[in-house]
Amino acid sequence: MGLSLSKLAVKFGCDLLGNPETQVTHAATLLSAQKGAISFFSNPSYKEQLISSKASAVVIANAHVDICKTNALISDDPYLTFSKIVALLNPPASMSAGIDKNVSISGDIDISKSAYIGPFCRISGNVKIGRNTYIGPGCIIEGDVEIGDNSKLIANVTLVNKISLGKRAIIHPGAVIGSDGFGNVKTEKGWFKIPQIGGVTIGDDVEIGANTTVDRGSLDNTELENGVRLDNLIQIGHNVSIGEHTAVAASAAIAGSAIIGKRCLIAGQVGIVGHIEICDDVRVNGGSVVTKNILEPGIYSGSFAADKDKVWKKLVGKFRRL
């Protein structure tokens, strides 16, 4: 059930070094690869691993071919080509359409015949689920919710209130989309809860990580445009807007009404204050706190690297005496 290197070379437009009949059956790292594995090389610091690797073939850039002793596919972007081969070798499990018998449905529900609804899902309200869409076990979909074709809610995903979710979405377990934003007005008797009546609009090809939360808008909608990628445990506040192909890494928190442009990279644990704007093509490094508009593309930072405690304490002492 393997694939020949020659076939892969044709499919991905690569030059081929070595035996074109080499069969690869699975993907592996250089270090763990055994016979039958295809691997990749892109970071020169792993040169030793390349040399000693038992991989049957390697995807590699032309510039590194001279140190490669095994069969190789030559690619301008070895990691991308390799990733595509991994996808080819690991096709998604085939899905059997239909609604599990342990499902609770009520309301005005329109589920495509080619969709799958797993056990212990609750679907109620005004819900539309598109073709070939997979709703894994334990998902809760309540309210006015539309899910596009070929999307996948892995398991235990909660969608509530008003949500429009596009095509080819992947939502990981524990994600909560559409719950109330954090809106409170101070009164003499404590907090008055501001009714949250907006929804969440999510484009196509969006991926949302495990236990990430995306709040519904207060009045208008919270928006994630096409191709947005959210990692795990991220907070997206009400009325946040995230532009196309922006990726946000784990444990970042984006406060209400922040507007983030296209193709941005927001690293792990970054905090973004509410009501500010970040333009397209901005990268914010890990642990930074963004408190003002960023109107110029580029790289932004704001965190300190940890140091030996004694060294750090001295520096902080000097800082405090500035």
**Active site amino acids:** 238
Minimum distance from CB of 11 to its own copies (Å)? 15
Write the single-letter amino acid at 104: S
Interior angle at CA 196, CA 214 and CA 194, nearest 5: 125
Q: Provide the sign of the torsion angle of the four alpha carbons 279, 214, 250, 95, taken in this order.
A: negative
Distance of CA 244 to the CA centre of its chain: 13
Say if CB 64 and CB 45 are below 8 A apart.
no
Q: Cβ closer to its own copies: 20 or 105?
A: 105
The DSSP code for 65 is G
The DSSP code for 64 is G
Q: Provide the sign of the torsion angle of the four alpha carbons 286, 288, 290, 294, taken in this order.
A: negative
Q: Cβ closer to its own copies: 72 or 230?
A: 230
Q: Cβ closer to its own copies: 20 or 287?
A: 287
3-state secondary structure of 61: coil
Pairing of strands 190-193, 184-187: antiparallel
Q: Cβ closer to its own copies: 48 or 66?
A: 48
Minimum distance from CB of 229 to its own copies (Å)? 6
Cα(first)–Cα(last) distance of the chain, in Å?
Answer: 68
Minimum distance from CB of 140 to its own copies (Å)? 5
Distance of CA 70 to the CA centre of its chain: 34
Q: Cβ closer to its own copies: 19 or 42?
A: 42
